[in-house]
């Protein structure tokens, strides 16, 4: 299993500043890359650790009777959710290869996909965020998110054939050899028969084949048509997709939504619109109903501070997810008697002072946003937690705002921010 890359004897490639600068300039959304023998925390995770994570996640799915996050394909066909639970890894498999041995006796061609495996375990998540944070620093923070999936099996081809996604993809093989066949986007557009195809021999001469083993890394831009190929032997690969399908204009309109809702007040809640005339006999539409006139007046009172606050709030909420769709949540019921600390010293609770009301603060974690008062103990508590201190809730949350702050703290805890020590 501990198969090494063919160039493993050569000096490992460091993903340092120079690498990321070159990557941003030459490869990001431009051209594919194959790097042999890369030094990255992501690649230091052993197959035994990955197996343990898979079992942990599978156990959770079995317990909740919900295989969400797992997909299973047999001969390219997706298996129904209720059957996925039957084919997940179990502790008795002992290793990835043990699991494979059990599966290959049942299926000649199977593929298990586990999305966001690393995000179920906050302790391991930094391996991923160390990588993505550097990437974001050089190419920008994704407006959508990144997704990390583990692809495992003996499938000969990607179950859905040659395709293009709206994400740039980094792959890190964990076991076995992985081959990715790629075509540039112009070629895909000129040859629509490639789409979802499994038979593409005549197009092979125009493709590029990336062949990677454990310790290697590949990247292809979002526009690249691709398919994974294998000779039917076992492989396991991390795949990190950076979605690039959400333009800034969508970010702006989403940020404005809650501000507009608030501004419009009662007018915004009406579900029918009174009118005098719909249109003239000629069909010309010439007058705006009263509700719109009122809305215009209300919107004219919007000022740049309110806009700034709306954008800052939604930006904070967005980055509190650390670039992912979800981050690991917890089940921890807090009280004033609890003693708590951050679940990870790299995952801070973000906060900001309101621009329009000096008294107010906003706090955010894992996509959740709560409000509190600048004078309340909650901000002091959050600052102490962010400084990596273990904190007794009762030391900070006191007086009239205690109850309200505890509700806000519980919401942050539910999003995965803190762990109770006592």
Residues of this chain that interact with Fe ion (CB under 5 A) are: 165
Closest CB 232 distance from Fe ion, rounded Å: 20
Which residues lie closer than 8 Å to 110 by C-beta, 6 or more apart?
A: 72, 73, 74, 87, 103, 104, 153, 154, 155
Nearer to Fe ion, 165 or 339 (CB): 165
Of 46, 48, 159, which Cα lies nearest the Cα of 99?
A: 48
38-39/13-14 β-pairing: parallel
Nearer to Fe ion, 235 or 295 (CB): 235
Q: Which residues of 172-191 are buried (b: 16+ CB within 10 A; e: fewer)?
A: bbbbbbbbbbbbbeeebeeb
Closest CB 228 distance from Fe ion, rounded Å: 8
Nearer to Fe ion, 59 or 165 (CB): 165
Nearer to Fe ion, 235 or 414 (CB): 235
DSSP structure class, residue 92: G
Closest CB 69 distance from Fe ion, rounded Å: 18
Which residue has tokens 């769709």? 325
Quote the distance between the C-alpha of residue 72 and its chain's center: 20
Sign of the dihedral defined by the CA atoms of residues 166, 172, 174, 177, in that order: positive
Question: How far is Cα 65 from Cα 86, in angstroms, rounded to an integer?
Answer: 11
Question: How far is Cα 171 from Cα 224, in angstroms, rounded to an integer?
Answer: 14
Q: Which residue is nearest to Fe ion (CB)?
A: 165
Strand (E) or helix (H) holding 370: strand 368-373
Nearer to Fe ion, 165 or 371 (CB): 165
Closest CB 178 distance from Fe ion, rounded Å: 13
Of 213, 211, 151, 217, which Cα lies nearest the Cα of 176?
A: 213
Nearer to Fe ion, 182 or 342 (CB): 182
Q: Tokens at residue 421, please?
A: 């020590």
Nearer to Fe ion, 49 or 165 (CB): 165
CB 168 within 8 A of CB 219: yes
Nearer to Fe ion, 157 or 313 (CB): 157
Count the Cβ atoms, other than its own, within 10 Å of residue 84.
20
């Amino acid at each position: 299993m501990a198969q090494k890359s063919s160039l493993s004897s050569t000096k490992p490639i460091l993903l340092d500043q120079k690498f990321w600068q070159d990557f941003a300039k030459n490869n990001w959304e431009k051209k594919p890359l194959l790097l042999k023998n890369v030094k990255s925390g992501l690649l230091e995770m052993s197959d035994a650790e990955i197996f343990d994570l898979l079992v942990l996640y599978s156990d959770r799915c079995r317990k909740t009777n919900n295989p969400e996050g797992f997909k299973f394909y047999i001969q390219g066909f997706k298996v129904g959710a209720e059957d996925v639970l039957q084919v997940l890894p179990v502790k008795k498999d002992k290793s990835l290869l043990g699991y494979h041995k059990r599966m290959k006796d049942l299926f000649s061609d199977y593929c298990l996909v586990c999305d966001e495996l690393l995000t179920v375990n906050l302790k391991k998540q930094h391996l991923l965020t160390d990588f993505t944070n550097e990437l974001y620093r050089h190419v920008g923070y994704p407006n959508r998110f990144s997704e990390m999936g583990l692809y495992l099996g003996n499938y000969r081809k990607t179950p859905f054939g040659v395709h293009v996604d709206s994400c740039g993809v980094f792959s890190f093989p964990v076991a076995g050899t992985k081959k990715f066949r790629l075509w540039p986007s112009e070629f895909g557009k000129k040859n629509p028969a490639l789409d979802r195809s499994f038979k593409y021999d005549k197009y092979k001469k125009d493709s590029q084949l990336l062949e990677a083993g454990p310790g290697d890394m590949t990247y292809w831009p979002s526009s690249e048509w691709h398919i994974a190929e294998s000779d039917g032997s076992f492989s396991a690969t991390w795949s990190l997709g950076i979605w690039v399908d959400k333009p800034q204009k969508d970010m702006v309109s989403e940020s404005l939504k809650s501000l507009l809702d608030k501004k419009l007040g009662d007018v915004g809640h009406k579900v029918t619109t009174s009118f005098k005339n719909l249109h003239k006999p000629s069909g010309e539409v010439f007058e705006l109903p009263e509700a719109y006139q009122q809305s215009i007046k209300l919107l004219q009172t919007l000022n740049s501070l309110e806009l700034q606050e709306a954008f800052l709030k939604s930006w904070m909420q967005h980055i509190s997810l650390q670039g992912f769709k979800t981050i690991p949540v917890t089940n921890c019921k807090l009280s004033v008697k609890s003693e708590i600390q951050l679940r990870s010293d790299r995952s801070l609770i973000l906060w900001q002072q309101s621009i329009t009301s000096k008294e107010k603060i906003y706090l955010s974690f894992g996509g959740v946003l709560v409000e509190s008062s600048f004078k309340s103990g909650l901000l002091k508590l959050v600052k102490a937690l962010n400084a990596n201190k273990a904190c007794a809730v009762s030391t900070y949350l006191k007086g009239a705002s205690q109850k309200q702050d505890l509700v806000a703290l519980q919401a942050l805890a539910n999003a995965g921010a803190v762990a109770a020590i006592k």
